[in-house]
């Protein structure tokens, strides 16, 4: 019975189990953050109730870029939003009739399928600020969380 459970070499099995447990703790405790999506603000890219992962090391060697889908820590350690970066530090941004305009140039957004005629007043982002917004712009602006996020609030880049 013992050889069925632990194989012919219990010591090797114990080492494999220890390596597996340690690897799992490092990957899911340090590198990847599991994120359960709640809401439709990122449809059709991400669906309500879906489970995804944010790579916490994605921005260790580079800054977040326009188009990156990121997890943003909002309130407390367990509340994160998933949004797309559309505005970068120092840029002048406004939304006119649903179109994001960066420094006077309309932004091409192939991931946005439907747009409601939103109008958001012009803002100039600070040196450590990003403008984030969901892909589902068919929702009214009042029902959508979007706006400025500082670099320290960006937890990581979504994997899927």
Q: How far apart are the C-alpha atoms of 158 and 160, rounded to whole Å?
A: 6
Q: Tokens 């599991």, residue?
A: 34
Q: How far apart are the C-alpha atoms of 7 and 17, rounded to whole Å?
A: 12
Tens digit of pLDDT at every position of the chain (160 positions): 455 566 677 788 888 888 888 888 888 877 898 898 988 889 889 999 999 999 999 999 999 999 999 999 977 777 899 999 999 999 999 999 999 999 999 999 999 988 888 899 999 999 999 999 999 988 888 888 899 999 999 999 999 7
User: What domains lie within the chain, and their CATH numbers?
Assistant: 2-158 (2.10.109.10)
- Write out the H or E segment, with its range, that includes residue 101: strand 99-102
pLDDT value, residue 1: 47
Q: Tokens 């013992």, residue?
A: 2
pLDDT value, residue 115: 86
């Amino acid at each position: 019975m013992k050889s069925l459970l632990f194989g012919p070499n219990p010591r090797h099995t114990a080492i494999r189990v220890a390596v597996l447990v340690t690897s799992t703790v490092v990957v899911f405790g340090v590198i990847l953050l599991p994120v359960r999506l709640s809401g439709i603000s990122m449809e059709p890219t991400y669906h309500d109730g879906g489970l995804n992962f944010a790579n916490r090391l994605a921005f260790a060697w580079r800054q977040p870029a326009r188009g990156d889908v990121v997890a943003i820590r909002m309130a407390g350690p367990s509340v994160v939003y998933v949004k797309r970066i559309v505005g970068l530090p120092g840029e002048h941004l406004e939304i006119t009739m649903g179109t994001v305009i960066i420094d006077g140039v309309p932004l091409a957004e192939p991931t946005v399928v439907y747009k409601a005629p939103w109008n958001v007043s012009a803002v100039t982002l600070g040196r450590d600020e990003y403008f984030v917004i969901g892909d589902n712009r068919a929702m009214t602006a009042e029902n959508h969380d979007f706006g400025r996020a500082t670099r320290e609030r960006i937890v990581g880049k979504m994997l899927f």
